[in-house]
Amino acid sequence: MWYAADMADRLKNASGYNYQTIQPQFDWETFKPRRDEYIRKLTEAYARNFGKDGVEYHDGWGRLVDKNTVQVTRHDGSTYELKADYICIATGSRPAVPSEEAVPGATLGITSDGFFELEKQPKSIVIAGAGYIALELAGVLNALGTQTHMVIRGGNVLRTFDPMIQDTITNWTEHTGVNIHKNSKIVKVEGTKVGEPITVHTDKGEVIQADYLLWAIGREPVTEDCGLDKVGVKMDAKGNIIVDEWQATNVPNIFSIGDCQGKALLTPVAIAAGRRISNRLFGPEHFKQDKLSYENIPTVVFSYVGHLLMHSIDHSSLLQTPSNWHCWNDRTSSQGEIWRLHQNMYVSEGPSRHRV
């Protein structure tokens, strides 16, 4: 989807390079099956790799029976048990949606999962949230021609990132045409059913009409009905499994990685943590102290703001620039310069250039 948005923006701006003006028409209905097919093949490739690596794959719902036993419930309701010396819980997370009590009509919205199920491109959409998913989907939809609104609680997007990145991405997102409703919360949603036009009300009295509302306000762990209470695995108030620096729970032989333990919700982090557990438990002696450091984990956000792609590290001071520098995108600047920002970020004040 990001590449489709990138192509749309390039075609729209081709006239800046003396091409004849192009008004691209994106065909969502024929693109979706091709995208889904690509994802299906990718999923099947992972499944084949299980077999190649000698990994048994069990399709069903797992529940802990005791600290060494997992009960698997098949889709037909039948059950069987697996026993192991060690158990690693990696059940992931799901998109969070407000309750009907908190926001009447909240269930009329979709999530990022629902976005990938859309058969037709929305003409208009309201996206609630200011993080990764909200920003990425807003940028993609806007670039493809959907009238896009973002409702955010603060004054900037990406509030956990460096202030310079917050300001720059927020400004450029608005510059590209996304309507950002700042310091606002959705208090009510009106409509008949998902897929029919909805009306969104904010606490500032704004009324926004759109085809869809998409909740991108965070994720919640999938830890309910997993039998954690039967063996005494501790969780925090949000349902995240509590682990120590070794990814170990309070039950000595049970570990947890990924989104369900609530730290650094990134796929590469879960992979890295899993490798270190495997190294430590089953590897040679020099791996016995192997563990993942959660300090200074790099993060990439595919924010689509007209070829402005910024890389950052959360809560670090590695990227520091004077406040009077400006970020430019892939279009001609007022000084007549054309720059491209992909692997590096260029910032400038006047004619001089600096690479970060």
In a domain, 270, yes or no: yes
Question: Residue 305 has what pLDDT?
Answer: 66
**Distance of alpha carbon 164 from alpha carbon 51, whole angstroms:** 47
In a domain, 311, yes or no: no
In a domain, 193, yes or no: no
pLDDT band for position 22 (cuts 50, 70, 90): confident
- Count the domains in the chain: 2
Write the CA distances from 189 to 104, 106, 202, 209, integer angstroms: 6, 6, 9, 10
> Where in the sequence is the domain holding 257, given as residue range(s)?
58-89+223-287
Question: Residue 149 has what pLDDT?
Answer: 98
Let me know: does 354 contact 348? Beta carbons within 8 Å. Answer: yes
% pLDDT > 90, the chain: 74
Of 287, 302, 329, which residue sits at a domain end? 287
Assess whether pLDDT exceeds 90 at residue 315.
no
Average predicted confidence (pLDDT) for the chain: 86
Let me know: does 173 contact 301? Beta carbons within 8 Å. Answer: no
Question: 325 and 272 share a domain?
Answer: no
Write the pLDDT tens digit of every residue in 47-72. 899 989 999 999 999 999 999 999 99
In a domain, 165, yes or no: no
Write the pLDDT tens digit of every residue in 96-129. 999 999 999 999 999 999 999 999 999 999 999 9
Let me know: does 174 contact 155? Beta carbons within 8 Å. Answer: no
Question: 283 and 325 share a domain?
Answer: no
Question: Residue 2 has what pLDDT?
Answer: 87
Assess whether pLDDT exceeds 90 at residue 307.
no
In a domain, 205, yes or no: no
**Distance of alpha carbon 26 from alpha carbon 5, whole angstroms:** 9
Question: Which residue type is seen at 59?
Answer: D
| Domain CATH code at residue 63 | 3.50.50.60
Write the CA distances from 148 to 35, 38, 101, 132, 237, integer angstroms: 22, 26, 26, 16, 34
Question: Residue 31 has what pLDDT?
Answer: 97
% pLDDT > 70, the chain: 85
- What are the beta bridge partners of residue 124? 147
As a whole number, mean pLDDT of residues 171-181 equals 95
Question: Residue 355 has what pLDDT?
Answer: 31
In a domain, 105, yes or no: no
**Distance of alpha carbon 341 from alpha carbon 327, whole angstroms:** 9
Helix (H) or strand (E) holding 128: strand 124-128
Assess whether pLDDT exceeds 80 at residue 323.
no
Torsion of CA 159, 305, 269, 227, to 10 degrees: 70
As a whole number, mean pLDDT of residues 170-177 equals 94
Question: Residue 306 has what pLDDT?
Answer: 58
Local structure of 191: helix, strand or coil: coil
Question: Residue 338 has what pLDDT?
Answer: 31
333 versus 207: the higher-pLDDT residue is 207
- Of 40-44, 153-157, 296-300, give the lowest mean pLDDT range: 296-300
Question: Residue 23 has what pLDDT?
Answer: 79
The values of phi and psi at residue 273, to 5°, are -65, -40
Let me know: does 136 contact 2? Beta carbons within 8 Å. Answer: yes
**Distance of alpha carbon 245 from alpha carbon 316, whole angstroms:** 21
**Cβ contacts of residue 173 below 8 Å, gap of 6+?**
135, 138, 139, 150, 157, 180, 303, 305
Of 269, 287, 305, which residue sits at a domain end? 287
Let me know: does 134 contact 157? Beta carbons within 8 Å. Answer: yes
**Distance of alpha carbon 14 from alpha carbon 332, whole angstroms:** 12
Question: Residue 21 has what pLDDT?
Answer: 81
Q: Hey, what are 13's tokens?
A: 């701006």
**Distance of alpha carbon 290 from alpha carbon 281, whole angstroms:** 9
Let me know: does 60 contact 72? Beta carbons within 8 Å. Answer: yes
Question: Residue 326 has what pLDDT?
Answer: 36
Assess whether pLDDT exceeds 80 at residue 354.
no
In a domain, 158, yes or no: no
**Distance of alpha carbon 118 from alpha carbon 32, whole angstroms:** 8
Q: How many CA atoms lie within 13 A of 343 on its CB side?
A: 0
**Distance of alpha carbon 247 from alpha carbon 78, whole angstroms:** 32
pLDDT band for position 322 (cuts 50, 70, 90): very low
In a domain, 199, yes or no: no
pLDDT band for position 33 (cuts 50, 70, 90): very high
Longest Cα–Cα distance of the chain, Å, equals 70
Q: Hey, what are 340's tokens?
A: 């491209």
